[in-house]
Structure 1
Amino acid sequence: MGDPCGIGPEIAVSAWARDRGADLRLVGDPEVFRRALRVMGLDLPVAVLERSDDLAPPDALPVWVPADLPEALAALPMGQIHAQAGLAAARCIVAAVHEQQAGRSRALVTAPIHKEALHAAGVDHPGHTELLQALCADAQGRLPPVRMMLANEELRVVLVTIHVALREAVDQITTGRVLQTIRIADAALRRAGLAAPRIAVAGLNPHAGEGGLFGVEEIEHIAPAIAQARELGIDASGPYAPDTVFMRARHAPPRHPGEFDVVVAMTHDQGLIPVKYLGVEEGVNVTLGLPLVRTSPDHGTAFDIAGTGRADPASMLAAVRMARVLAS
């Protein structure tokens, strides 16, 4: 469902109405989804399922309701931060993960959540990625190493660091972390059907450090990680200047076939700006490294248009398609 005060429910019902796959279930509050149907001008009944893997009648929106959702969510004002909305979004994520862990679903597609609403609800995680990582900890409490991949039809990017301050991100760029990111990216693309992914690794500094003139991270950490990856049989290369590597990787045939299948970027904005510049309409966020499949649209809650009927489900539909590929 995502945040019930944002466009998540609206793009969820619109995506279902266009796809209508028998494998799709919506997780959340039925009244929130009924409101979303009205907003989007869709005249569809809602079928409340007893189990997440139950079948719904044809042409009925199949909704499974977690047991501990807050009440009266559909009465919350649209486009505003609310603790109850953040709590509901988190509880839907937790319930959906448990269903996948129990073998009752093959993949999780998450609608956008609002980080301030999560914080207001007392959820001790800054976003989806960190919450999912905590839910997938092993019996000893060890967290799986996860990475964020943003992808559209023209570009794929995997991030070494995610939701941390830029000062902290630079300290996190170590040989071990960069190598781990390269290995996670390689494994994910192989699972998606690429036999030998071509991985470009971006530098951190201008001109990839210019031989140490503008920083030593490339020499001390990034280049050694690439060398170790190549010793493992991974087709990784770089470090490349960050201001040109994304253009080189962009795959827009016939005039511009990409040189690489994915770029490993060092920081959140370094990697996400070029992907989002190409358009969020078809962008998909994939969490790599989890023992389950999770995708999401490449945009946020869009509080400014929530409730107006203008939400575009294209990125949600792309996330559903990607989830099916990864879960097959």
Structure 2
Amino acid sequence: MTPAPPLALTMGDPAGIGGEITLAAWARLRAAGPAFVVLDDPRRLAGLAAGLGWDVPIAEVGGPEEAAAVFADRLPVMTLRLPVPAVPGRPDPANAPAVLGAIERAVALAQSGRAGGVVTNPISKATLYRSGFAFPGHTEFLGALTGTSAPPVMLLASPMLRVVPVTIHVSLRRALDMLSTAEIVRTGLALAAGLREGFGIDAPRIAVAGLNPHAGEEGAMGDEEGVLVVPAIEALRARGVDAFGPLPPDTMFTARARAGYDAALCLYHDQALIPIKTLDMDGGVNVTLGLPIIRTSPDHGTAFGIAGQGVADPSSLVAALRLAAEMAARRTKEPAAP
């Protein structure tokens, strides 16, 4: 297996917890890796570490190529200056260009092969919107940056559960209007491919959620299952995907039910994210499927209320870095000899 290059980690919103969980993640991973380089303002990180009383030496580097050599002793940072000083808990739209610039630069590094993948710290979409950001969220922005023809798919993964929502960052009312058999099929195919390529699951089993209580109770509580979901499952199975359902959403996430599938295909945002965040908030990782690069992120937000206090748990970021490295290693695995 050919070693993958170091990962590129973005700053996220500098007023959130991204900086301190980055420092803490480096402390956890410095000995064994995976190595990563941070796209951030080194003055901000150094000041944050000093304010928290943490010993995190900073190394300004020119690219991921230098990160592995210094990673055990210093946190490698590719310099990206903030327009205004960051104040924990007080997001400032003036820093939006730096936040977005870190994402753009990280994607470029991954596309060129200089970085093994992109790991993103949490952003504040509301703050970015005030600066003119035109995308619903990270996932859609990454799709535009990489020029993907189909919308990317958001997978939330932890050792306890993997889930994908068909519709993502839209209101529930709009999500119902957007839901279609074609979108369920498209998302299911992307999920199956992602499980094979990114997780090494050769024949993934996909449980498909119903939309209505009791999965519609044979039409008594809604006909979307019969009209939209069943035809999608049949189409997925015709394409060789082991998909089954629709399952009642209130019972498909029990421990016994989860043992019967590799991932759950859900129909809207909260149907997918509530169970995984309830089961494993600290270990959950956001993975974007359908991109030409690897992208993961912690499964939580900016946590402005506790930013700068040194109490934020870095476990989800550590899990995101480790998963990105595992996925990158699978992509660089040399083909078996004939």
Does the TM-score normalized on the shorter chain lie above 0.5?
yes
SS of residue matched to 1:291 = coil
Q: Deviations over 1:183-234 (max 9, x none)?
A: 1111111111112111000011111111222222111111101001111111
> Which of 144, 152, 160 is residue 158 of structure 2 equivalent to?
152
SS of residue matched to 1:123 = coil
Give the direction of change, closer, same or farther, for the CA distance of 1:281–1:178 in structure 2 (3 Å limit).
Answer: same
> How do 1:67-82 and structure 2 match up within 5 A?
69-72=81-84, 75-82=85-92
Query: In the TM superposition, what is the alpha-carbon distance from 1:260 to its structure 2 partner?
Result: 1.0
SS of residue matched to 1:25 = strand
Query: Which 5+ residue runs of structure 1 have no aligned equivalent?
Result: 252-257
> Which of 127, 136, 141 is residue 137 of structure 2 equivalent to?
127
| Structure 1 partner of 2:193 | 187
| Structure 2 partner of 1:255 | none
Output the CA distance in 2 between the equivalents of 1:296 and 1:279: 15
> Which of 76, 94, 100 is residue 62 of structure 1 equivalent to?
76
| Structure 2 partner of 1:169 | 175
Q: Do residues 208 (structure 1) and 215 (structure 2) align? A: yes
Q: Is the 8 A contact 2:34 2:322 kept in 1?
A: no
Output the CA distance in 2 between the equivalents of 1:133 and 1:195: 26
Q: CA RMSD in A?
A: 1.6
Q: Deviations over 1:91-119 (max 9, x none)?
A: 10011001111111111111111111111
Output the CA distance in 1 between the equivalents of 2:307 and 2:257: 32
Query: Which 5+ residue runs of structure 2 have no aligned equivalent?
Result: 1-10, 330-338
Query: In the TM superposition, what is the alpha-carbon distance from 1:38 to its structure 2 partner?
Result: 2.5
Give the direction of change, closer, same or farther, for the CA distance of 1:39–1:285 in structure 2 (3 Å limit).
Answer: farther
SS of residue matched to 1:122 = coil
Q: Is the 8 A contact 2:39 2:78 kept in 1?
A: yes
Query: In the TM superposition, what is the alpha-carbon distance from 1:8 to its structure 2 partner?
Result: 0.4
Higher relative contact order (CA 8 A, sep 6+): 2
Output the CA distance in 1 between the equivalents of 2:34 and 2:161: 30
Task: Specify the code of the residue in structure 2 equivalent to 1:313.
Answer: P
Output the CA distance in 1 between the equivalents of 2:171 and 2:314: 31
TM-score by length of 1: 0.91
Q: Is the 8 A contact 1:44 1:61 kept in 2?
A: yes
Task: Specify the code of the residue in structure 2 equivalent to 1:6.
Answer: G
Q: Is the 8 A contact 1:5 1:78 kept in 2?
A: yes
> How do 1:35-114 and structure 2 match up within 5 A?
35-55=47-67, 57=70, 58-66=72-80, 69-72=81-84, 75-114=85-124
Output the CA distance in 1 between the equivalents of 2:252 and 2:162: 12
Larger deviation, residues 50-59 vs 209-218:
50-59
Output the CA distance in 1 between the equivalents of 2:104 and 2:328: 19
Q: Deviations over 1:210-262 (max 9, x none)?
A: 122222211111110100111111110000111111225665xxxxxx11111
SS of residue matched to 2:143 = helix
SS of residue matched to 2:246 = strand
Q: Is the 8 A contact 1:6 1:301 kept in 2?
A: yes
Output the CA distance in 2 between the equivalents of 1:10 and 1:250: 37
| Structure 2 partner of 1:247 | 254
Query: In the TM superposition, what is the alpha-carbon distance from 1:60 to its structure 2 partner?
Result: 1.1
Query: In the TM superposition, what is the alpha-carbon distance from 1:154 to its structure 2 partner?
Result: 0.6
Aligned length: 314
Output the CA distance in 2 between the equivalents of 1:126 and 1:154: 28
Task: Specify the code of the residue in structure 2 equivalent to 1:274.
Answer: P
> How do 1:283-302 and structure 2 match up within 5 A?
283-302=284-303
Output the CA distance in 1 between the equivalents of 2:13 and 2:217: 44
Output the CA distance in 2 between the equivalents of 1:262 and 1:85: 37
Q: Is the 8 A contact 2:162 2:262 kept in 1?
A: yes
Output the CA distance in 1 between the equivalents of 2:243 and 2:65: 41
> Which of 123, 127, 134 is residue 117 of structure 1 equivalent to?
127
Give the direction of change, closer, same or farther, for the CA distance of 1:41–1:144 in structure 2 (3 Å limit).
Answer: farther
Give the direction of change, closer, same or farther, for the CA distance of 1:315–1:22 in structure 2 (3 Å limit).
Answer: closer
What is the percent sequence identity of the aligned residues? 46
TM-score by length of 2: 0.89
Q: Is the 8 A contact 1:159 1:266 kept in 2?
A: yes
